[in-house]
C-alpha cells in the first residue's frame, strides 16, 4: 500500500510531477497556482532537482524548455494572465518538439478578473492560444487523486510524443483537499523519451524516417545539435523549402491526431440508458455527477460524460452520444466555449444547451438538475 495523504489539488499535481520523474521547475508566483511552486521549491532540492523563480512568466516557460533540452523532465505552473504570457514560448516548444508540462489553474477573467475564484474560460486558449498550426494535448482532471495520476500521465505523454502537454483545472479543484494514496514507485508506469542509438556525428534531431516522433538526445551528452523556432530540416537548421515545411507540420499534428485512442480518456456515469446527458469537466463535472444521482432518484434518466482529455477533443464519443440521447447539457464556468465543440460534434442530432456562470461561484447541482428537468 502506498502513502496516504490529505492534499490540495495543487499539491497533488506537484507530487505527481515528482513521481513522474520531474527534476526541474521554473515559474512565477500567481494565484491560484502558487502552491505548486511552493511545494516544488521545497521538494526538488531534496531529490537533487532544481527550482527557479524567474522574473516573469515568459522567462519561466523559456527556462522549462531549456531544462528539458538538458535532460530534465520539466514543469511550470501558472494561472490567468500568466498562461497568456507563456503562449509564444509554448509555440516554440511545440515546433521544436520539446517535452514539458504546463499547469494552468484556471480563474476568473479577463485580465486579473477574479484571482481567487474558479473559471473555465481558458479552455479554448489551451487549444488556440499560440499562433500557427500545432498539436495540443490538454488534460482536465477533477479530483485530487485524479490530478496526481493525470499529472503522471501528462509527463508520460510529453515524453512519448515529444511535445508540451497542458493540465487545466479550476481554482476550486486546485485548492480542494481530499484523501489520496501516493503509489509506491513502480506502481504507475513511467515513460522516458526515446534516446538515439546512432553515433553523435550521425544524429539528426528531427529525423522522421523512423517514425513521427524522432529520438531525442539531451544536451551535454555528446550530441551537438541546432534548435530553432524557424521551420527546420532533419538537422535542425532553418529551411525555406515549401515541401519540407508542409510535410513536417503535418507530422507534428499527426503524432497527436493519429494517437487519439492512446491520449483521450473520459469517465462515463449512467449513460447506457440515459435520455439526457451532461458534458462537464472540472468542478462543473463534480456538480454534474451529484445532479445525475439526484435525477436518477427522481426517475429521470440522466448521465454524465466527463472528459479527462479535452484536447484532442473526444469527437467520436460525443457524436455517438448525440445519437442516443434527447439532449446534451454543457455546464461551464464561462459564457460558453466548449458548448460549441459539443454542438459541432452533435451535428444537430440532439438538443445542446448550456449553463454558464462567471460570477466567481461554481455551477451547483441544483442548477444542473433544473436544466435536466427542463430539457428531458
| Interval 125-157: pLDDT, tens | 999 999 999 999 999 999 999 999 999 999 999
Judging by beta carbons within 10 Å of its beta carbon (0-12, 13-18, 19+), is residue 111 exposed, middle or buried? exposed
| Interval 327-358: pLDDT, tens | 999 999 999 999 999 999 999 999 999 999 99
- Predicted local distance difference test score (pLDDT) of residue 137: 98
User: Are 263 and 136 spatial neighbours (Cβ–Cβ below 8 Å)?
Assistant: no
- CA gap 144, 132 in Å, rounded: 34
Q: Is the pLDDT of residue 1 over 80?
A: no
Q: Could you identify the residue written with the cell 451535428?
A: 347
Closest CA to 174 of 35, 269, 276: 35
- Predicted local distance difference test score (pLDDT) of residue 242: 84
- Predicted local distance difference test score (pLDDT) of residue 241: 81
Give the start-to-end residue ranges of the domains of the chain: 3-182, 267-375
Dig out the grid coordinates for 327 from the structure.
439532449
User: Are 335 and 354 spatial neighbours (Cβ–Cβ below 8 Å)?
Assistant: no
Cis omega (within 30 of 0) for bond into 36: no
The DSSP call for residue 212 is S
Q: Could you list the beta-strand ranges (E) of 79-209.
A: 100-108, 114-118, 138-139, 164-170, 177-182
pTM, two decimal places: 0.97
Three-class SS of residue 98?
coil
| Interval 7-38: pLDDT, tens | 999 999 999 999 999 999 999 999 999 999 99
- Predicted local distance difference test score (pLDDT) of residue 156: 98
| CATH number given to 3-182 | 3.40.50.970
H or E, element range at 320? helix 315-324
Question: Could you tell me the fold of the domain covering 267-375?
Answer: Rossmann fold (3.40.50)
Dig out the grid coordinates for 68 from the structure.
528539458
Q: Could you list the beta-strand ranges (E) of 248-301.
A: 266-269, 276-279
Distances (CA, A) of 207 to 92, 131, 211: 18, 24, 8
Per-residue pLDDT band for 93 (boundaries 50, 70, 90) equals: very high
Three-class SS of residue 4?
strand
Q: Is the pLDDT of residue 271 over 90?
A: yes
Percent of the chain with pLDDT over 90: 98
Q: Is the pLDDT of residue 230 over 90?
A: yes
- Predicted local distance difference test score (pLDDT) of residue 153: 98
Q: Could you identify the residue written with the cell 460525443?
A: 318
Average pLDDT over residues 147-168: 98
Dig out the grid coordinates for 257 from the structure.
491526431
H or E, element range at 58? helix 57-69
- Predicted local distance difference test score (pLDDT) of residue 89: 98
Q: Is the pLDDT of residue 119 over 80?
A: yes
- Predicted local distance difference test score (pLDDT) of residue 197: 95
The DSSP call for residue 202 is G
Query: 125: how many CB neighbours lie within 10 A of its CB?
Result: 19
Per-residue pLDDT band for 57 (boundaries 50, 70, 90) equals: very high
Percent of the chain with pLDDT over 70: 100
Amino acid at each position: 500500500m502506498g502513502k496516504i495523504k490529505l492534499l490540495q489539488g495543487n499539491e497533488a499535481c506537484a507530487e505527481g510531477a515528482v513521481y513522474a520523474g520531474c527534476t526541474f521547475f521554473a515559474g512565477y508566483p500567481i494565484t491560484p497556482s502558487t502552491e505548486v511552486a511552493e511545494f516544488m521549491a521545497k521538494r526538488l532540492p531534496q531529490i537533487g532537482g532544481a527550482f527557479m523563480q524567474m522574473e516573469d512568466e515568459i522567462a519561466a516557460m523559456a527556462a522549462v524548455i531549456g531544462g528539458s533540452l538538458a535532460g530534465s523532465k520539466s514543469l511550470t505552473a501558472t494561472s490567468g494572465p500568466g498562461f497568456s504570457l507563456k503562449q509564444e514560448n509554448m509555440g516554440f516548444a511545440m515546433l521544436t518538439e520539446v517535452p514539458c508540462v504546463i499547469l494552468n489553474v484556471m480563474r476568473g477573467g479577463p485580465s486579473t478578473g477574479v484571482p481567487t475564484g474558479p473559471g473555465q474560460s481558458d479552455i479554448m486558449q489551451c487549444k488556440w492560444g499560440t499562433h500557427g498550426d500545432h498539436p495540443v494535448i490538454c488534460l482536465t482532471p477533477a479530483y485530487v487523486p485524479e490530478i496526481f495520476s493525470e499529472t503522471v500521465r501528462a509527463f508520460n505523454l510529453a515524453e512519448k510524443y515529444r511535445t508540451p502537454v497542458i493540465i487545466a483545472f479550476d481554482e476550486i479543484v486546485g485548492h480542494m483537499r481530499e484523501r489520496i494514496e501516493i503509489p509506491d514507485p513502480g506502481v504507475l508506469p513511467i515513460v522516458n523519451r526515446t534516446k538515439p542509438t546512432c553515433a553523435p556525428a550521425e544524429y539528426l534531431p528531427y529525423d522522421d524516417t523512423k517514425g513521427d516522433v524522432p529520438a531525442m538526445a539531451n544536451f551535454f551528452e555528446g550530441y551537438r545539435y541546432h534548435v530553432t523556432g524557424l521551420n527546420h530540416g532533419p538537422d535542425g537548421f532553418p529551411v525555406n523549402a515549401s515541401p519540407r515545411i508542409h510535410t513536417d507540420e503535418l507530422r507534428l499534428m499527426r503524432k497527436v491526431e493519429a494517437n487519439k485512442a492512446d491520449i483521450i480518456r473520459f469517465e462515463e456515469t449512467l449513460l447506457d440508458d440515459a435520455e439526457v446527458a451532461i458534458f462537464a469537466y472540472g468542478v462543473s463535472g463534480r456538480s454534474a455527477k451529484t445532479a445525475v444521482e439526484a435525477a436518477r432518484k427522481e426517475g429521470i434518466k440522466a448521465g454524465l460524460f466527463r472528459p479527462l482529455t479535452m484536447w484532442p477533443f473526444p469527437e467520436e464519443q460525443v457524436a455517438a452520444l448525440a445519437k442516443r440521447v434527447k439532449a446534451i447539457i454543457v455546464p461551464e464556468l464561462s459564457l460558453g466555449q466548449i458548448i460549441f465543440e459539443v454542438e459541432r460534434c452533435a451535428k444537430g442530432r440532439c438538443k445542446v444547451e448550456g449553463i454558464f456562470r462567471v460570477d466567481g461561484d461554481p455551477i451547483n447541482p441544483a442548477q444542473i438538475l433544473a436544466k435536466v428537468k427542463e430539457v428531458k
